[in-house]
Structure formats: C-alpha cells, structure tokens
C-alpha cells in the first residue's frame, strides 16, 4: 500500500544509552510541559533516515551512526494528515546530547516512560520501545501443566511476552497457573498478560491484560494503570478506534489467515491487515494463521509484530 503523497512526514529518534535509559525532550503544549522524542519534519524529497540524522544534529548535536525503524504513528497536525516515523538509535551515535534549541532534555528508565505526560503522537512510542516483536499465546487447554509446558517452550524460543488465554480453567485454577507462570517468567525478564479480566490481572500482579473486542466496547476508560500493558483484539476499524479511545497500548489484528481451530471463518488477508495496521497509531500485531516467520511480512504491511499459538509455543 503506497504512502499518502500529501501526508506530512515527521521523524524522531528514540535514543537509548549504555545504561538502558531513554532520551526525552520537553515541549510546551496547551499551557503545560509535555514530552516527546526529538526530531522534526522531513524536507521535500528527503529520505527519512537522512532527515533523522539532520534533525538530531540540529536539535541535540549528535551524529547518528545507525538506526532501525521502530514504529510509525499516523496523526493529525492541524488540518493536515501526518505520520510520526520513529527510529531506534540504540547506543549508536557520536557526541553528547545537548539542548541546542533550549528544550528540556532528560534520561528516563523504561519503567518511568508510562508516567510522563506525552504529546499525543509520541504516546504509543513510550510503550513500543519496550515491546517485543512477537507475542506467544497459550493453547486452549484444561490442564495447567500443559499451559506451563507451552510457556516453557515459548521462552525456549525466545519469547519475551506471553499471554495466558485459558478459558477452560476456573478462576482459582487460572490464578494458580498465573502465579506459576510468573515464577517461571519474571526471573528471565518475560512479561505475562492475563486475558479478559483487568481486575484479576491486577490482583495477581500480572504485567497486563488482553481484552476481547466486545469487552473493549463496554468500557469508557482505560481499566489498568499506565504501568501495566493493555492490549485489545481488533477485527475492523470500529474496534480499532474503540481500542484507541480507551487508551490501549497495542492491538492484535485478526484473523489474517485461516486457522485449523476456526475453519471457514472469513479472514482479513494481508491486505486487510495492512489497511488496519497503517491506520493504527497503536502497535499492531498480526494474529490468526501466522507464525514467527511471518514477522517480515507483517512489518512490510505496517504492522509491529506477530502473535499466535502454533509456532510460538512449541
């Protein structure tokens, strides 16, 4: 899908130093100090990476050595459609960042990013910097041992985020499984999401929760603190807008392709996934009939990553 030719293209650099801290810049907006990642507009005909290098040299006096695309956020800038194109600059610059334009600068740990008052386009980036490119989902089993075995397999494949989707377990069995999952995952830095019940996830100390689309439509506000991860199921533009409205951090867009568990269901296809992913300010994961090897295709379609059961959990 080609880029909109009249869209304003803005680039920003997400700098992480050797301490694992992130560089943020302050800007006055609506009478208050808000935060963003440093950058600016591409000049006509300028390549995004070249614009990134120029803007960071002008704003914070650093020379970018290398950078990788992180996430793209469509937004409105006045009456114009705009795109915030974020690049990860991970310990790959020369110089000491300084405020050449007099703007406040600060270094913030990952855990502190969620607490900042962000400019609207930069808000999804504060989560994206710490999101893995894949999410492993437990199979629908009624035996906690099988669920934990699947989590072990997922971590063996490098998973950094797992979702406990276990509808056949009652509340007590789910709680026990979640505690056992945390005991396995936390020492390895792997985050654990619950499914469907924000309060239970909060009570158990999980790292967040995934909400079905129907649950999202029932909510008026975000049901979790910003320090916990909130993801939502998304099948169309209405559900995407609902997830944005309540302040979700990411969406799982499905079904991209047919799956053995849902034969005959109508699928989005990669074109349908791309239509939603490119309109989403939130990181969008392809789900349904996809595997880890589909990450490149999902990224080429404007998605952030992939999610699933088969191929992710053994």
Could you tell me which CATH number the domain at 134-308 has?
3.20.20.70
Identify the pLDDT of residue 7: 83
Which H or E run contains 175? helix 171-185
Question: Domain locations in the chain?
Answer: 8-128, 134-308
**pLDDT exceeds 70 at position 307:** yes
Question: What is the average per-residue pLDDT within 190-210?
Answer: 97
Q: How far apart are CA 60 and CA 101, in angstroms?
A: 8
Question: What is the average per-residue pLDDT within 16-24?
Answer: 97
Helix axes 237-245, 269-279, angle to 10 degrees: 30
Identify the pLDDT of residue 1: 45
User: Of how many residues is the chain composed?
Assistant: 314
Kindly give, in sequence order, each residue whose CB lies less than 8 Å from that of residue 147, ignoring residues fewer than 6 positions away.
138, 139, 141, 164, 166, 169, 177, 181
Between the alpha carbon of residue 192 and those of residues 10, 34, 178, 207, 258, the distances in Å are: 33, 30, 8, 5, 26
Residues of 281-306 as b/e, b for ≥16 C-beta within 10 angstroms?
bbbbbbbbbbebebbebbbebbbbbb
Q: How far apart are CA 218 and CA 119, in angstroms?
A: 27
Judging by DSSP bridges, how do beta strands 39-41 and 80-90 pair with one another?
A: unpaired
Q: How far apart are CA 257 and CA 266, in angstroms?
A: 9
Kindly give, in sequence order, each residue whose CB lies less than 8 Å from that of residue 123, ignoring residues fewer than 6 positions away.
none
- Write the burial class of residue 145 (CB in 10 Å: 0-12 exposed, 13-18 middle, 19+ buried): exposed
DSSP state of 118: B
> Is the full-model pTM beyond 0.75?
yes
Structure tokens at 165: 């989707």
Same fold for the pair 8-128 and 134-308: no
Structure tokens at 298: 């999902």
Between the alpha carbon of residue 247 and those of residues 169, 230, 244, the distances in Å are: 28, 8, 5
CATH architecture observed for domain 8-128:
Alpha-Beta Complex (3.90)
Work out the pLDDT band at 185, boundaries 50, 70, 90.
very high
**pLDDT exceeds 60 at position 118:** yes
**pLDDT exceeds 50 at position 276:** yes
Q: Is residue 82 within 8 Å of residue 7, measured between CB atoms?
A: yes
Question: What is the average per-residue pLDDT within 24-34?
Answer: 90
What average pLDDT does the structure give for the chain? 94
**pLDDT exceeds 60 at position 3:** no
Identify the pLDDT of residue 2: 47
Count the Cβ atoms, other than its own, within 10 Å of residue 151. 25
Beta bridge partners of 75: 82
- Give the three-class secondary structure for 289: coil
């Amino acid at each position: 899908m080609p880029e909109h030719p009249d869209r304003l293209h803005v680039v920003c650099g997400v700098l992480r130093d050797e301490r694992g801290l992130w560089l943020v810049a302050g800007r006055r907006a609506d009478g208050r100090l808000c935060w963003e990642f440093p950058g600016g507009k591409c000049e006509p005909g300028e390549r995004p990476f070249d614009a990134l290098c120029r803007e960071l040299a002008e704003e914070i006096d650093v020379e970018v050595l290398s950078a990788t695309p992180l996430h793209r956020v469509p937004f409105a800038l006045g009456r114009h459609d705009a795109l915030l194109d974020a690049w990860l600059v991970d310990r790959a610059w020369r110089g000491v960042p300084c405020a050449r334009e007099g703007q406040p600068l600060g270094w913030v740990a990952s855990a502190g990013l969620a607490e900042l008052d962000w400019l609207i386009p930069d808000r999804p980036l504060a989560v994206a910097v710490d999101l893995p490119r894949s999410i492993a989902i437990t199979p629908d089993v009624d035996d906690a041992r099988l669920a934990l075995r699947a989590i072990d397999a997922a971590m063996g494949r490098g998973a950094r985020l797992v979702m406990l989707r276990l509808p056949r377990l009652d509340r007590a069995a789910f709680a026990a499984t979640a505690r056992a999952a945390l005991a396995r995952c936390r020492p390895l830095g792997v985050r654990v999401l619950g499914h469907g019940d924000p309060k239970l996830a909060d009570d158990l100390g999980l790292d967040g929760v995934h909400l079905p689309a129907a649950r999202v439509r029932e909510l008026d506000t975000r049901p979790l603190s910003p320090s916990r991860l909130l993801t939502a199921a998304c099948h169309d533009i209405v559900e995407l807008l609902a997830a944005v409205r309540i302040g979700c951090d990411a969406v799982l867009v499905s079904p991209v392709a047919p799956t053995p568990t849902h034969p005959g269901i109508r699928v989005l296809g990669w074109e349908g996934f791309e239509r939603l992913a490119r309109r989403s300010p939130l990181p969008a994961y392809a789900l349904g009939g996809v595997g880890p090897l589909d990450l490149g295709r999902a990224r080429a379609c404007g998605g952030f990553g992939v999610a699933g059961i088969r191929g992710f959990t053994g």
